[in-house]
């Protein structure tokens, strides 16, 4: 634990200097992808079956089983903007089919079974501004989150720009969703405890708002990773997969399909400098 803390301190001490001396980036336009009708319908269905967990009952254990079966999950923590200076009120986890709102004010603590999942490398956790969330969970709950995939980092890489961008703004930009669809009247309330989700009970609007962000954060991640950062890899894979389709002579194809054949390997761009160890 002490080694991890010292490492964090070393990084924090040099982060501002590193940013100031880093090479400037030439900003690129990010490839966007608006939600299709079936995706909007699926989103609506998911928002109608949000599971709120306030005790370690059957719903709690079913949620853990679902989360454990995933390869990647979307995680939202509120409030978290000021990291360790906040007290966790809710943790929202969206899996492929369900969204769970863990009410930490009711639960009191993050129980060991959920801690194990959050600290494990898998399932991977999609977060936005993970530096704030991980600071909160480390200092308030002694949790070290592993397997993090940060959508803010992905957005910075995709558009070659290190400017601030909230999760709502990133969703608006990449998924082409109006900001009006990513809000509820409670988050503009004059009552701070309502705005930061520490007041109880949580309203239906607040729950839908949190769930929608968690679900769309997952889609944001996919669009940034596969639609932008890994787009060249996908293009190469597409060309490679079609290598034999264009060849009509079966006998020639058969000759090129022997175990040692390198047919089609030329479409793998050497820019990626893939190295193969020689036994």
Confidence of residue 45 (pLDDT cuts 50, 70, 90): very high
Residue 15, pLDDT score: 58
Task: Mean pLDDT check: name the lowest of 6-20, 148-162, 187-201, 260-274.
Answer: 6-20
Kindly report, residue by residue over 107-131, the tens digit of the pLDDT.
Answer: 999 999 999 999 999 999 999 999 9
Positive or negative CA dihedral for 238, 240, 245, 247?
A: positive
Instruction: Give pTM, 2 decimals.
Output: 0.87
Cα separation, 204 vs 184, in Å, equals 10
Residue 250, pLDDT score: 87
**What does pLDDT average to over the chain?**
90
Q: Is the pLDDT of residue 233 over 50?
A: yes
Query: What are 51's strand-pairing partners?
Result: 100
φ, ψ of residue 86 in degrees (nearest 5): -105, 160
What are the start and end residues of each CATH 3.30.420.10 domain in the chain? 25-229
Asked if 200 and 105 touch (Cβ cutoff 8 Å), the reply is yes
Q: Is the pLDDT of residue 200 over 70?
A: yes
SS3 call for 50: coil
Asked if 73 and 94 touch (Cβ cutoff 8 Å), the reply is yes
Cα–Cα distances (Å) from 28 to 43, 154, 194, 265, in that order, read 30, 13, 38, 29
The CATH label, of 1.10.4030.10, 3.40.50.150, 3.30.420.10, 3.90.1150.10, for the domain at 25-229 is: 3.30.420.10
Question: Residue 94 belongs to what H/E stretch?
Answer: strand 90-94
């Amino acid at each position: 634990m002490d080694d991890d803390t010292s490492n964090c301190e070393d990084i924090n001490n040099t982060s501002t200097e590193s940013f100031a001396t880093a090479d400037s980036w030439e900003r690129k336009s990010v490839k966007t992808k608006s939600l299709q009708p079936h995706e909007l319908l699926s989103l609506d269905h998911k928002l109608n079956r949000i599971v709120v967990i306030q005790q370690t009952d059957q719903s709690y254990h079913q949620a853990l089983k679902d989360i454990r079966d995933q390869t990647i999950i979307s995680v939202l923590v509120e409030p978290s903007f000021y990291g360790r200076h906040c007290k966790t009120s809710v943790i929202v986890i969206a899996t492929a089919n369900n969204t769970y709102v863990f009410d930490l004010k009711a639960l009191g603590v993050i129980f060991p079974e959920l801690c194990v999942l959050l600290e494990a490398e898998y399932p991977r956790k999609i977060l936005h501004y993970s530096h704030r969330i991980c600071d909160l969970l480390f200092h308030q709950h002694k949790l070290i989150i592993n397997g993090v995939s940060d959508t803010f980092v992905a957005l910075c890489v995709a558009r070659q720009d290190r400017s601030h961008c909230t999760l709502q703004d990133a969703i608006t930009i990449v998924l082409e969703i109006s900001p009006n669809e990513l809000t509820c009247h409670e988050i503009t309330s004059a009552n701070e405890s309502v705005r930061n989700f520490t007041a109880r009970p949580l309203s239906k609007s607040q729950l839908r708002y949190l769930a929608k962000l968690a679900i769309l954060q997952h889609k944001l991640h996919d669009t940034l990773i596969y639609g932008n950062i890994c787009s060249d890899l996908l293009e190469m894979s597409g060309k490679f997969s079609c290598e034999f389709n264009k060849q009509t002579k079966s006998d020639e194809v058969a000759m090129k399909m022997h175990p040692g054949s390198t047919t089609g390997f030329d479409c793998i761009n050497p820019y990626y400098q893939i190295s193969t160890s020689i036994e």
